[in-house]
Amino acid sequence: MATPDTDQGGKRATPAPRAPGLPGYNPMSWRRFWLVIGSLLLINIVITTIIEAVTQAPSVTIPYNVFIAQVDAGNVLNITATGDSIVGTTRKAVSAGSGQPSATSFATQRPTFASDGLEASLLKNKVSILAEPPNPPTPLWETLLFSFGPALLFVFGLIYLMRRSAALAGGGAGGILGRFSQSGARLYNPEHPETTFADVAGIDEVKAELVEIVDFLKQPEKYQRLGGTVPKGVLLIGAPGTGKTLLARAVAGEAGVPFFSISASEFIEAIVGVGAARVRDLFQKARGAAPAIVFIDELDAVGRSRSTGARLGGNEEQEQTLNQILTEMDGFDPHEGVIVLAATNRADVLDVALLRPGRFDRRITVPFPDRRGRLEILKIHTRHIPLGADVDLGIIASLTAGMVGADLRNLANEAALAAARREAQTVMQIDFTTALEKVELGSERKLSLSAADRERIAYHESGHALLGLLQPGADPVRRVSIIPRGQSLGVTVQSPVDDRFNYGEDYLRGRITGALGGRAAEQLVYGVVTTGAESDLRQVTAIARQMVVRYGMSPKVGVLSLADDGDNPGQSLTLTRSYSEATAALVDEEVRRICEECLQQAVALLTGNRDKLDALVHALLEHDTLGEAEILAVTGIAAPVETPVAVG
């Protein structure tokens, strides 16, 4: 650890303050410098004024007619004319009038309309005449001073600042320009870690992978005595918000070593070569503080594949930066104790050189948390929130399938804000429900809907809800509402009892049937469909197409995978197909067939349960929003037996 500088007497020497952006900049010394310059200028002005006042004879301004009279009287010795301005001296003192000061030096102005034969009178009285041009040329010294002075001052000033900053920075190359090559990585205090593994939940299997890294940094001899070496690099791959950065900081907190954190985009600068210099600076600092951890967030900003065809000027700087990262990681001594952690959500675009053994040897996928994981994450984010007696975090965890840690933290915060708006002392379950609707669907909209529109929306949402109750194996209906939120005029909330990781064909068909429940209800009751099913139809089409081209759930297409999007199901299908036009037409035909069959099933189910549909609509029109228990009571349908996996 660095120790404070001390003087010879043992007292602490106070370092000179430095201004941001300039190494070694001392505002006190510069203040003295400008004070001296200002004092010299002031002294120069004062002395010049005094000398002019002492050496210059007193002068008076006289009227032109007095001047003519003095010429005729032979009292004028000489004059100097500049245009119509005349100055001169006389033998005897003159004045502008009685009671006015007098002097032998005078000045006057000849009127432009004068025609008094002044020249003849001056020659007659033997007056010495001197004429000067109205606009005399600028002296050479003044021209040189104002032409080259500012440029010379700037050049010498810049040289002075660069030499001074370089000297105060310990002779480091670059001085001011060297500031560009500094990495700017943030160093977290290893003695007082802000984050440990206790702050990370829901991804226990990932934490287990990183325990070995922590153990190596704490006990390197345990591995080195057997010839083992820790991975040089660990790449964390996962969707945004899954906790990649949090994991990296937790590793540093557990290991108790310096943690250098930087975003990959901070390497890139407009000046070519700066990115590579910043990489060198970062790794030099890490080696000096070893054992240490270097964390590079959003690695894909500089680590994109170099085999993508033509590259422009900005890409050249990116490629140089990437090459420097590869070189630095290759140059690690296995015994240095410097480990590189990196995070990305686009591992598919990274350069293959980054992923080979010897660079990022270990790749860890940070998954979406399951129900148990979400419960643990909610417990962490509600540690400092006073919860009401009715709050059940297990239920909230089951309602938030697909949410990551960042989403759950935002949900807890929104629930606290909702309770604050009610001026409540604790956060209740209703606050979490309100927050969940706001996060997923948006804020409530105050729309003036007619009675006919409200009824049509109620039938649409009731169709979704009723089919969710009637289909075996469907996700339970948690809530149905006809209050407009975000872009929707109503909403039906369904969520599984436990997370699903494998989907059967019957479940997917049930999803399509439930999504078509709104369209089926409108068709059954009104005989006319509306635009309200737009988002439902997009969802239905996507599921049906995946069933045909990805999962082989079409007898006519067969057990083929026609998807061209690699291993990432979250990406959309590519525009270039690897199959014929005839197969494409068959795919479209099968997608349409599945959707039509599910729509017919939806209409049949609603027709056979029309009384339950009408009862649910009347309850919705009266209360606007119905919970799960109220929906079951209105329809008279028994709740399915739930056998969730134990959590806690």
pLDDT, tens only, 528-542: 888 888 888 999 999
pLDDT, position 646: 40
What does the alpha-carbon distance between residue 561 and residue 569 come to, in Å, rounded to a whole number?
A: 12
Across the range 237-253, mean pLDDT stands at 85
Is the model's pLDDT at 351 over the cut of 60?
yes
Out of 1.20.58.760, 1.10.1040.10, 2.60.120.10, 1.10.3720.10, select the CATH number for domain 451-635. Answer: 1.20.58.760
State yes or no: cis peptide before 139, omega within 30 of 0. Answer: no
Task: Give the least confident one: 164-178, 228-242, 619-633.
Answer: 164-178
State mean pLDDT over 211-221: 80
Q: Give me the mean pLDDT over the 530-558 stretch.
A: 89
Which residues have a Cβ under 8 Å from the Cβ of 486 and sit 6 or more positions away?
441, 442, 443, 445
Q: Say how far apart CA 262 and CA 184 lie, in whole Å.
A: 7
**302 three-state secondary structure:** coil
Domain boundaries, the chain: 27-51+150-179, 57-132, 182-306+315-366, 371-441, 451-635
Q: What is the CA radius of gyration of the chain?
A: 43
Q: Beta strands 186-188 and 102-109: pairing type?
A: unpaired
**pLDDT band at residue 21 under the 50/70/90 scheme:** very low
- Spatial distance between the Cα atoms of 553 and 555, rounded to a whole number of angstroms: 7
Residue 11 in this model has a pLDDT that exceeds 70: no
Q: Is the CB of residue 498 less than 8 Å from the CB of residue 394?
A: no
pLDDT category of residue 57 using cuts at 50, 70 and 90: low
Higher pLDDT among residues 153 and 483, named by residue: 483
Lookup: tokens for 378: 């909610």
Least confident of 114-128, 157-171, 289-303, 556-570: 157-171
Confidence at 565, pLDDT banded by 50, 70, 90: low
604 C-beta neighbours (distance < 10 Å), count: 13
Using CB atoms within 10 Å of the CB of residue 312, give its burial: 0 to 12 exposed, 13 to 18 middle, 19+ buried: exposed
**Which is more confidently placed, 321 or 307?**
321
How far apart (Å, rounded) are the C-alpha atoms in residues 610 and 604? Answer: 10
d(CA 190, CA 177): 31
Instruction: Check residue 116 and give its pLDDT.
Output: 67
pLDDT at 23 over 60: no
Structure tokens at 479: 């809530």
Alpha carbon distance 100, 13 (integer Å)? 69
| Separation of alpha carbons 418 and 411, rounded Å | 10
Q: Looking at residue 411, what is its pLDDT?
A: 92
Rounded to an integer, what distance in angstroms lies between the CA atom of residue 480 and that of residue 465?
7
Mean per-residue pLDDT of the chain: 78
For 313-346, give the secondary structure using H, E and C. HHHHHHHHHHHHHHHHHHCCCCCCCEEEEEEECC
Average pLDDT value for residue range 250-269: 80
What is the CATH T-level fold of the domain 182-306+315-366, as seen in this structure? Rossmann fold (3.40.50)
Token reading at 98: 């009685």
Instruction: Name residue 13's beta-bridge partners.
Output: none
* Predicted pLDDT at 185: 62
Q: Is the pLDDT of residue 26 over 60?
A: no
Compute the average pLDDT of residues 490-509.
81
- State the pLDDT at residue 578: 74
- For the segment 227-250, the average pLDDT, to the nearest whole number, is 83
pLDDT at 191: 57
Flag whether the pTM goes above 0.75. no
| Cα separation values, 592 from 366, 491, 548, 599, 606, Å | 37, 26, 11, 11, 21
Going by pLDDT thresholds of 50, 70 and 90, the confidence category of residue 33 is: low
Question: Which pairs with CB-CB distance under 8 Å and at least 24 residues apart come from 212-219?
Answer: 213/251, 213/255, 213/339, 214/251, 214/254, 214/255, 216/337, 216/339, 217/255, 217/257, 217/291, 217/293, 217/337, 217/339, 218/255, 218/256
CATH fold label, 371-441 = Helicase, Ruva Protein; domain 3 (1.10.8)
CA gap 479, 460 in Å, rounded: 14
Instruction: Assess whether pLDDT exceeds 50 at residue 408.
Output: yes
Question: What is the widest separation between alpha-carbon atoms in the chain?
Answer: 135
pLDDT per position as a tens digit, 355-370: 888 788 888 888 888 8
* Buried b / exposed e along 188-204 (16+ C-beta atoms within 10 A): bebeebebebebbbbbe
Active-site residue, selected from the candidate residues 317, 461, 522, 590: 461
* Separation between Cα atoms, residue 239 and residue 348, nearest integer Å: 13
Q: Which amino acid, 350?
A: L
pLDDT confidence tier of residue 433, bands split at 50, 70 and 90: confident
Topology at the third CATH level for domain 57-132: 3.30.720
Q: Which two tokens stand for residue 1?
A: 């650890």
In this prediction, residue 538 carries a pLDDT of 92
pLDDT in the model for residue 547? 92
Closest Cα to residue 185, out of 258, 291, 99, 114?
A: 258
- DSSP class of residue 516 equals T
Active site residue 461: yes
**pLDDT attached to residue 440:** 79
pLDDT of residue 625: 85
Q: What is the DSSP string of 577-610?
A: -SS-HHHHHHHHHHHHHHHHHHHHHHHHHHHHTH
Least confident of 51-55, 88-92, 496-500: 51-55
In this prediction, residue 345 carries a pLDDT of 87
pLDDT at 566: 44
Is residue 396 pLDDT above 70, yes or no? yes
- Angle, in degrees to the nearest 10, between helices 451-470 and 628-635: 90
**How many CB atoms sit inside 10 A of residue 417's CB?**
14
Question: Is 632:639 a contact under the CB 8 Å cutoff?
Answer: yes
**Residue pLDDT, tens place only, 87-118:** 888 888 888 777 778 888 888 888 877 776 78
pLDDT for the residue 569: 40
Map 120-161 to HEC letters: HHHHHCCCEEEEECCCCCCCHHHHHHHHHHHHHHHHHHHHHH
Tokens of 59: 């002068």
What integer is the mean pLDDT of 290-299?
85
CA distance 69 to 125: 12
Fold match, 182-306+315-366 / 371-441: no
Which pairing describes strands 233-238 and 625-627: parallel, antiparallel, or unpaired? Answer: unpaired
Q: Using DSSP bridges, classify how beta strands 76-82 and 85-95 pair: parallel, antiparallel or unpaired.
A: antiparallel
Q: What's residue 299's pLDDT?
A: 87
- Per-residue pLDDT band at 371 (split at 50, 70, 90): confident
Classify residue 41 as exposed, middle or buried by CB count within 10 Å of its CB (0-12, 13-18, 19+). Answer: exposed
Q: For the residues 494-515, what does the mean pLDDT come to? A: 83
Q: How confident is the model at residue 189 (pLDDT cuts 50, 70, 90)?
A: low
More confident: 395 or 40:
395
